[in-house]
Structure 1
Amino acid sequence: MQSMTQRRVILWGEQIDNGNVRLPGRMMEGTGKASVKASGSCRLTQAVTAQRTFLWGTRSGTRYVQYKRNVLRKQRHWEKIVTAKKKKRKQEKERRKAKHAEDKGAAHQHSKRVLKAITKERLLAAKEAAPWLCVDLSMTSHMTKKMFVLSWKEISRLAAQIRRLYGSNKKAGKPFWICLTGFVAGSPISEECFRMNDGFSNYLMDTTPESYLDLFPLETIVYLTPDSENALQDIDPHRVYVLGGLVDESIQKKLTLQKAQEHSLQTARLPIAEYMVKNANVKNYHSETLAINQVFDVLSTYYETQSWPEALKAGVPPGKGYVLQETAL
């Protein structure tokens, strides 16, 4: 009867011949059955290891060849991916270089420090010679108060509009001087401006808790409201143009007009009706009420180009339902 060790060896495909353990294609010599019994698990381990080595490495069998082919195929695939990425990065780098050379050829490229100094000088010069644009933030008390979340949402939108307005003014070739009146420290709009706008304390503009009525002569003030009967004809650098600090959700009909009339102020509206027509749309929505940054974009573009069509095209978004007259034809 065969021993347990001999049975296990045979299960793995080895043969017992006169006490010698023999593998296909390879012989392991022993000293008889006693040697197999004495070797025990050590002899079995050597047999199994030899059999596995035969299957995967010592002979060029089918499994080994297939394994090698898979490895090579994956390696070639990975090399193709790496090569493609390197080529893409090289093309992107060349594209950036070409664009940089084009920009440098169009105009002398200044350093960031120089550009910042130029912007600062241009804005400070506007304080003396350019028209002033005043945003009346005392109007925030008229915002919706049905829900605290909605009111805070409106204040956040107003703070974002102030950031966009200031950003547009920095880029303008002929900037205005910006003044925020009714800007009370610790108020919701004050806290939101500092929270949302990085470097707000370094903005080159005036902020004051006082009213524009106490800061400027009444005859120099032009209150911009969409409810005015007077279309704005031109921008006078000696005037102060006032915008009510409201957002679309909180607009109350003729609120800004009534406030201006209470103090006998001159009022004006953007000449949307004179240069634009209603555009047919699915919702049949048309509005001449713009956000404060959109109003500023119109004023700033006109101040540079002296063209109302170009200014209205730059500041009035298509969603308001108006297009230029020549566009509608």
Structure 2
Amino acid sequence: MESSSSVCQAEKSPKMTKKERTALRHQRLIAANNDRQGRVPRVCVDLSLGHLMNERELRSLVCQIRQIYGSNRRADHPMQIWLTSLDTEGDIYKTSLRKNDGFELYVMNKTSQHYSAIFSQEDVIYLTPDSPNVLTEIEACKVYIIGGLVDESVIPNATFDLAKERGYDTAKLPIMRCMKHAEKGTFSTVLAINQVFEILLRYYNAGSWESSVVSVIPKRKGFIPR
């Protein structure tokens, strides 16, 4: 199998057709998804929190999963995505089938198992804005868990308390290291699931927290670059 870098170089060839570029991107996505040697960082969306959301919030969650997949599919260096606690008889799965065209064919790992049954505890870092720890790098050997709660379901310390209760390490994105308060805004560091993923993906591809955070944080949050 070709390396990710060789695939990227081939894609930039002026002789490459659109169909061939699409095929190469798909090949790259499959390679990242199937990696089991710890070469590609893993991002897991924890879908065990569906009971905390109403129907509208579930639809928003499903939309954000679609945006995550789209961003990963377009990336030069895709990450490995896991959807855990995805019950095929549950509302999240059924809504995904209705709202996301081709959901069953998404190149990502989908399982009804809880992430704790799949990943070693020492490999897990649960991302939560309530964590006292700031994420400084992304390691291919780690699994970064994003709690499957949408913006409307801002429950203070919900994911942080859950992670600590189970003994998992936690971290928050370095938002306040990269940005400062503007004159007005919500000043909330709680982000949508797809926004958290987008920051991770951009950092993984570009190696800069500053550019990744600044390009993703919505202006309504009231933050400006330091």
What RMSD in Å do the two structures reach over aligned CA positions?
1.3
| Residue equivalent to 1:225 | 128
Partner of 1:115: 21
Aligned partners of 2:28 and 2:141: how far apart in 1? Answer: 18
**Matched-pair contact (CA < 8 Å) for 2:179–2:214:** no
Task: Please name the residue that 2:150 is paired with.
Answer: 247
Corresponding residue number in structure 2 for 1:273:
176
2:188 is aligned to 287
When normalised by structure 1's length, the TM-score is 0.62
Q: Could you say which structure has the greater relative contact order, defined with CA pairs below 8 angstroms and 6 or more residues apart?
A: 2
Match of 2:92 among 189, 198, 213: 189
Indicate if the aligned counterparts of 1:223 and 1:267 stay in contact, CA closer than 8 A. Answer: yes
State the secondary structure of the residue aligned to 1:249.
coil
Query: Does structure 2 retain, via aligned residues, the 8 Å contact 1:173–1:304?
Result: yes
Residue 107 of structure 1, CA deviation: 5.0
Whether the 8 Å contact between 1:297 and 1:314 is mirrored in structure 2 is no
Structure 1: gaps spanning 5 or more residues: 1-105, 144-150
Q: CA deviation at 1:120?
A: 2.0
1:154-173 equivalence runs, <5 A: 154-173=57-76
1:141 aligns with 2:51: yes
Letter paired with 1:181: T
SS of 1:130 mapped into structure 2: coil
Aligned match of 1:103: none
- Name the SS for the 1:260 alignment partner: helix
Residue 146 of structure 2 corresponds to residue 236 of structure 1: no
Task: Quickly say closer, same or farther: Cα 1:109–1:162, change in 2 above 3 A.
Answer: farther
Alignment of 1:1-329 (within 5 A): 107-108=13-14, 110-127=16-33, 128=35, 129-143=39-53, 151-281=54-184, 284-325=185-226
Asked whether the equivalents of residues 222 and 266 of structure 1 are also in contact (C-alpha less than 8 Å), the reply is yes
Deviation digits for residues 227-285 of structure 1, max 9, x if unmatched? Answer: 0000000000111100000011112100000110011111000011111101112xx42
Alpha-carbon displacement from aligned partner over 1:39-90 (angstroms, at most 9, x marks no partner): xxxxxxxxxxxxxxxxxxxxxxxxxxxxxxxxxxxxxxxxxxxxxxxxxxxx
Cα distance in 1 for residues equivalent to 2:159 and 2:23: 37
Structure 2 SS opposite 1:138: coil
Amino acid at match of 1:297: E
State how far apart, in whole Å, the 1-side matches of 2:13 and 2:211 are.
Answer: 25
Per-residue deviation, 1:166: 0.5
Shift of residue 111, structure 1, vs aligned partner = 3.4
Runs of 5+ consecutive residues of structure 2 not aligned to the other structure:
1-11
Q: Please say if residues 134 and 240 of structure 1, whose CA atoms lie closer than 8 Å, have aligned partners that are also in contact.
A: yes
CA 1:110–1:192 in 2, change beyond 3 Å: closer, same or farther? farther
Deviating beyond 6 angstroms after TM superposition, the runs of 4 or more aligned structure 1 residues are: none
| Equivalent residue letter for 2:203 | Y
Whole-angstrom distance in 2 between the partners of 1:245 and 1:290: 11
Q: Over residues 20-57 of structure 1, what are the superposed CA-to-partner deviations in whole Å (9 max), with x where a residue is unaligned?
A: xxxxxxxxxxxxxxxxxxxxxxxxxxxxxxxxxxxxxx
Using the TM superposition, give the Cα deviation of residue 117 of structure 1 relative to its aligned residue in structure 2, in angstroms: 2.1
Do the aligned partners of 1:294 and 1:316 also contact (CA within 8 Å) in 2?
yes
Percent of counterpart pairs with the same letter?
39
Structure 2 CA distance, aligned partners of 1:289 and 1:197?
A: 25
Across the two proteins, how many residue pairs are aligned to each other? 211
Q: Which deviations, in whole Å up to 9, do the C-alpha atoms of 1:183-215 show, x marking residues without a partner? A: 001211111111111111111001111000000
Larger radius of gyration: 1
Cα deviations by residue, 1:6-27 (Å, 9 ceiling, x for unpaired)? xxxxxxxxxxxxxxxxxxxxxx
Q: 1:306 & 1:157 partners in 2: Cα distance? A: 29
Read off the aligned partner of 1:140 and give its amino acid letter.
G
Q: TM-score, normalised by structure 2?
A: 0.90
Distance 1:186 1:134 in 2: 20
